[in-house]
Amino acid sequence: MNKKNIEEFIAAEKSRSEGVLVEKIDLYFSDIEQQDKADIVFEAFTRYPFGVLKRFHEWAFGSDLAGKSVDEYLKKDSEAHTAMQKDNLDGFFISGQKKTDAERYEYFSGISTIFPLMMTANYHNWVSDAIEGVGDFGAFVDSYMPKIVEKYHGVLNAAYDAGDNGAKKSAYVFIAKNNIYEILREYYNWLIAQL
């Protein structure tokens, strides 16, 4: 496998979808129904990362890998996550109880930073079945997790400490526009170094 320029992939992806993400998050902070808020969070922080991962795979490996269909894999994995996230979102947004800032912080810190890493871990397990000599994902997580905690949780902490919706909106946009790409950049460089 020849090394490609991951920055070109990231630049193309960002230019393709950045405006849509910002628009969705702007809408989230407007006066809309809770179900609509849940749908926006699902779209921006669950469905969108799966789309990025599919395009990353096609960019890095082509369509299928050693006779295994990436579309079948992603369909199966996304369906499992979709069912789980939809239940979580409905419980979070539509339970009838107003959530505290601490509860919102806890939820968003997980779905916006940890979820894309878990999604990438599942993808790595699928890839490692088809490519010999690929290391354990735990080694990647050990090196990457501190960066997530420091950078993205730091952004959320600052936004929630500020206490206003403008700061929170900026944090959500920053994380949605950057975290999945940073994980895939680190993952690709880690993976390609082993091949």
Which residue(s) pair with 65 in the sheet? 68
CA–CA distance, 165 with 128 (Å, rounded to integer): 42
Domain regions of the chain by residue span: 6-192
Give the DSSP per-residue string, 30-67.
SS--HHHHHHHHHIIIIIHHHHHHHHHHHHHH-S-BTT
Q: What is the pTM of this model?
A: 0.88
Count other Cβ atoms within 10 Å, centred on residue 58: 14
Decide if 184 contacts 58 (C-beta within 8 A): no
How many angstroms separate the Cα of 86 from the Cα of each of 41, 98, 167? 10, 18, 26
Which residues are registered as beta bridge partners of 68? 65
* Per-position pLDDT tens, the chain of length 195: 678 999 999 999 989 888 888 899 999 889 888 888 888 888 888 888 989 999 999 999 887 777 788 888 888 888 877 777 767 776 777 666 667 788 888 888 888 878 888 899 999 988 888 888 888 888 888 888 788 878 888 999 999 999 888 999 999 889 988 899 999 999 999 998 888
What pLDDT score does 96 carry?
61
